[in-house]
Amino acid sequence: MAMFDTAHNRLSYGELLQPELGYKLDFAVGLTYSLDLEALLGVPVSLGLLDEADSELMRSPFYLLEAIRKSSDSLAIFCNAGGIALPQKIQSIYSLLENSVFEIKLSNRQNFHPKLWFIKYTNDDGHSYIRLLVLSRNLTFDNSIDQCVAMQGEITRTKRNKNKPLADMLTFVGGYADKTKKQKIAKLADDILHVKAFDIEHPFEDYEFLPLGISGYDKEKTKLFNSKYDIFVVSPFLSDNVINELSKCPYNKVLVTRKASVSPSVINSFNSVYITKDILNDNEFGVKQDIHAKLYFTITNEGNFLYIGSANASHNAFHKNVEFLLKLKYKPNCVGFKTFFSDFIHDENCPYEKIEAAPEKIPADAVQDAIDKAFKEAIYALKGAKVVVSGDSYDIQVDSKELKTEEAVKIAPLQRQDLLQSLLPQTLFKGMLLRELSEFYILWVQGQKIVIKIETKGIPTERDNAIYKSIINTETKFLSYVSFMLSEDYAAGVLEESEYLRLMQSDENESANAPFFAAVYEKMLKVVHQNPARLKEVADVIKRLDKDIVGNEFLEMYKQFELAARRLKNDTKGFSKGYRQSDTSSVSRRSKQNTACR
């Protein structure tokens, strides 16, 4: 199968994140330019923290709550400042993602653009491995054509300097995280330094990690612009100066790009230029699928190489942005230019077509440019926010520098779009409920909206509990949620949840809770014997809710199960200890017998 055959060699983003059998997630760091919060909620499923979800399951507030609860401590996502899309439906649980999402605001006002995953998985025996994903795709629902390389390696005791660029990239992003996540990222960076080797498959024999835009790394280290014989470039966005440098080679020069990026200079710089076929961008189904992959194939006197990652063939990518490329070296005499070309530009169902002349240049969208500049101006003007208690409610004051833009910029808390108002040096939002407080805000320019994260001091520690209480606000919902979180099949758990709530609406008597209580009892009984550690998850939820929601009957039942779990644990320890003593005695007897024989 051809490596770049988009029709047959397709990868599932979710499957790439899944652990091997017997392993579970320890910690994961994801880097992306843009971020869709709804797409992020699907990550815990892929990482093995939850069952596979369909659209019905993803609409369940219990499922979403579980996704965040299970992933919050073991996940850190970094994106470009201003790169978070506004969800179609705003839910209070999005505020619980604050501990997992960090925006990177570069001092040079350029873009944080890498697409990477660093994932550590561990099994019950303590063995761990690292999986590295190098992508051109962001964490969104975009349908564009992208590429990915997955590599993994076991953690050993020996440090490997070859992995230092990965550790340096993690150290860089860790500087934008909170204290707790920063420590976990530092530990992950150290683990990666101790990976002896990342596996690579045929036809490759070696690899090199190439960050761009962080201290100690620049385009010269890539050697991509050094002397070469042939080059094949795939890049949706281009700059003339970079294209001119890259195309300085005597033989084959091929480019695959977007139609809008083709200029006379581009046509003149390459022997052949290909673009995505119009039918993929403009079709009756309304699904646009343009090229978004970034890769470079070169033939040099040092060998043949493939670069893949986030860097476009643009000035910003190689001189200003933070980017990442993986450099793969081919085995000798395995893949030449003709082979690579026929793999990418294949005869059957090829998504690309050759273009002979530059299309008519589409004028720049001055309105959109002004909107983008206004967003960036606002993002870099924002200084912070603070929460002030005001009786039974809360006020938020957002501080900002004076805006240097002609466009009107408005701001609102994510959970209170109705409070949208002009962004001033001091913008005040009054009368907010505890559960509505969040570090996520909405920026508005000419009707367009994005989500940003602003450090907000003074949010009470009980805010998370208030969000839980807004979702689990009756005893029935509590029992339903516990039943759901202990379910082996979350889809079935959602059906049970719906049925519980339907029955409650038809029977408001206290006895209506009886069947739910019995169902929870059976599941907790099973958990105590099969996986008593899961009782701690129930305890965590109990701590977040009021006593009248949990109910005295459940609390008494929980205490009994907790006692049973402790007894089972002690009995198991006693059994293990007795077994080890017995085993040691028999070994000792055998040893004496062997000595006597000698």
CATH number (domain holding residue 267):
3.30.870.10
pLDDT tens, residue by residue, 241-263: 999 999 999 999 999 999 999 99
CATH number at residue 432: 2.60.40
Q: Indicate whether this model's pTM tops 0.85.
A: yes
Residue 579 has pLDDT above 60, yes or no: no
Does residue 35 lie in a domain region?
Answer: yes
Do 193 and 230 fall within a single domain? no
From 183, 199, 215, the end of a domain falls on 199
Mean predicted confidence (pLDDT) in 579-597: 36
Please report where in the chains the tokens 């208030």 appear, as a residue. Answer: 466
Do 62 and 118 fall within a single domain? yes
pLDDT at 116: 98
Do 217 and 278 fall within a single domain? yes
**β-bridge pairing 35-36 and 426-432:** unpaired
Do 441 and 527 fall within a single domain? no
Number of domains, the chain: 4
Q: Is 215 or 532 the better-scoring residue by pLDDT? A: 215
Q: Is 276 or 14 the better-scoring residue by pLDDT? A: 276
Do 106 and 82 fall within a single domain? yes
Mean predicted confidence (pLDDT) in 303-328: 98
Does residue 375 lie in a domain region?
Answer: no
Instruction: Say what percent of the chain tops pLDDT 70.
Output: 86
Residue 586 has pLDDT above 50, yes or no: no
Does residue 589 lie in a domain region?
Answer: no
CA distance 249 to 422: 53
Q: Phi, psi at residue 544, to the nearest 5°?
A: -85, -15
pLDDT at 71: 87
N-terminal to C-terminal alpha carbon distance within the chain = 62
Does residue 574 lie in a domain region?
Answer: no
Does residue 291 lie in a domain region?
Answer: yes
Flag the least confident range among 61-65, 151-155, 364-368, 467-471.
61-65
From 166, 199, 232, the end of a domain falls on 199
Does residue 325 lie in a domain region?
Answer: yes
Q: Which two tokens stand for residue 305?
A: 């190489």
Domain that holds residue 27: 13-199
Mean predicted confidence (pLDDT) in 66-95: 92
Do 392 and 534 fall within a single domain? no
Mean predicted confidence (pLDDT) in 159-163: 96
Do 449 and 482 fall within a single domain? no
Residue 576 has pLDDT above 70, yes or no: no
Do 115 and 184 fall within a single domain? yes
CA distance 117 to 15: 13
Q: Is 510 or 271 the better-scoring residue by pLDDT? A: 271
Mean predicted confidence (pLDDT) in 205-210: 98
Does residue 50 lie in a domain region?
Answer: yes
What value does the mean pLDDT of the chain take? 88
Does residue 2 lie in a domain region?
Answer: no
- Listing DSSP states for 454-512 in one string gives --EET--TTHHHHHHHHHS-SHHHHHHHHHHHT-S-HHHHHHHHHHHHHHHHH--SGGG
Do 123 and 161 fall within a single domain? yes
pLDDT tens, residue by residue, 447-485: 999 999 999 999 999 999 999 999 999 888 898 889 888
Do 260 and 186 fall within a single domain? no
Mean predicted confidence (pLDDT) in 524-550: 90
pLDDT band at 56 (very low <50, low <70, confident <90, very high): low
* Amino acid letter, residue 364: A
CATH number at residue 63: 3.30.870
Secondary structure (3-state) at 411: strand
- What is the layout of strands, in order, in the sheet containing 448-453? 35-36, 84-85, 448-453, 440-445, 409-413, 421-422
Do 212 and 193 fall within a single domain? no
Q: Is 584 or 425 the better-scoring residue by pLDDT? A: 425
Mean predicted confidence (pLDDT) in 303-330: 98
pLDDT band at 5 (very low <50, low <70, confident <90, very high): low
pLDDT at 497: 54
CA distance 499 to 493: 10
Do 330 and 266 fall within a single domain? yes
Q: Which two tokens stand for residue 397?
A: 């004051």
From 460, 489, 524, the end of a domain falls on 460
